[in-house]
Amino acid sequence: MSEVQTGHEVHEQHAKLVRALADQHARTIAQDYDEGVPDEAFDALMERARALMAYERQMPALLAEPERLRSEKVIFWSWRAQSAVAVALIIAFRLLGYSDGWYALVVPHLVATFCGWPLKATVKNHLARRTASLALHAVGALLVLIVLGILSPWFIIALVIGWAFVGTAAADGQEAGK
């Protein structure tokens, strides 16, 4: 994989290709005699134009790459951290002798976070998946507050709504990511 370029470097490369096309166009015009442009000059002009158009097709992905990498790290660590939270809760239940009823909330949370481990960030879906990964922390905090008895069990409704949001946001762009 190539090195990630900053937005400034991407725009500099674009400007360089535009200048090369303009220079070749000027040379082609200078060579234009009464019988027309020589084939070699025209071919060189077309090659510069193709190179510029190919680079312009890549520019959106190149400009989005630094943010995509940032999103990839957030996604990677968020889902693993929430798996660790669920495992810590299960261990705390065993050590503190909590009711086994709370396993009905913590085990699905653990399984769901394990399912999020393979999520990847693409140019098209990285923002939705980063949002889902950050919202996952709010859902995890809500889970901890509910099972430790700080919040009323009625907040389980908010937990389910939170998981629906996280699941929808994580799945957003699923087809585009393939």
75-84, 101-110, 166-175: least confidently modelled range? 166-175
Say which amino acid occupies 150: I
Short-list 56, 168, 37, CA closest to 112 = 168
> What average pLDDT score do residues 24-32 get?
77
pLDDT, tens digit, 9 for 90 and up, residues 93-140: 888 887 768 888 899 999 999 998 998 888 888 888 999 999 999 999
Q: How far apart are CA 27 and CA 123, in angstroms?
A: 39
Q: How would you write 80-93 as a 3-class SS string?
A: HHHHHHHHHHHHHH
| Percent above pLDDT 70 for the chain | 91
CA distance linking residue 42 with residue 27, whole number of Å: 10
Evaluated on CA atoms 138, 141, 147, 152, the torsion sign reads: negative
Q: What is the mean pLDDT of residues 159-176?
A: 81
CA–CA distance, 34 with 152 (Å, rounded to integer): 89
Q: Nearest to residue 65, comparing CAs of 9, 133, 20?
A: 9
Largest CA distance in the chain: 96
The span from the CA of 153 to the CA of 8, in Å, is: 52
Residue 76 burial class via C-beta count within 10 angstroms: exposed 0-12, middle 13-18, buried 19 and up: middle
Q: What is the pLDDT of residue 1?
A: 44
Rounded to two decimals, the pTM is 0.69
